[in-house]
Copies of this chain bind each other. A is one copy, B any other.
Amino acid sequence: MPIVHVYMWSEVSRKAKAKIIKGITKVFEELGIPPHAVEVVIQEVPKENWGVEGEQASEKLKEAKPP
């Protein structure tokens, strides 16, 4: 405990993934939870599968990219 599921658009860089995992784990460490107890799972989802305001992000947010 805790388990953290992160949902983002596909093609997050390897470096950003490392920072997300490290950063989120640290948030819990600062609350007194040992890092080995924290599991972070990043789920990458294609922009055409992600709906924003009733539209696919691949249409609505054409230029936007994940970190």
Enumerate chain B residues within 8 angstroms of A23, measured Cβ to Cβ: 23-24, 26-27, 30
Residues 13-50 of A, flagged 1 when their CB comes within 8 A of B and 0 if not, give 01011111111111111111101101111111100111
**A7 CA to B35 CA, complexed, in Å:** 15
**A17 CA to B67 CA, complexed, in Å:** 24
Number of copies: 6
The reply to whether A3 and B14 contact each other, CB–CB distance below 8 Å, is no
Q: Tell me whether A17 and B49 are in contact in the complex, defined as CB-CB below 8 angstroms, given that A3-B7, A5-B5 are known contacts.
A: yes
The reply to whether A19 and B27 contact each other, CB–CB distance below 8 Å, is yes
- Name which of A51, A52, A66 has the most chain B CB atoms within 10 A of its CB: A51
Return the contact of A50 from the options B28, B30, B39, B50 (Cβ within 8 A).
Answer: B39
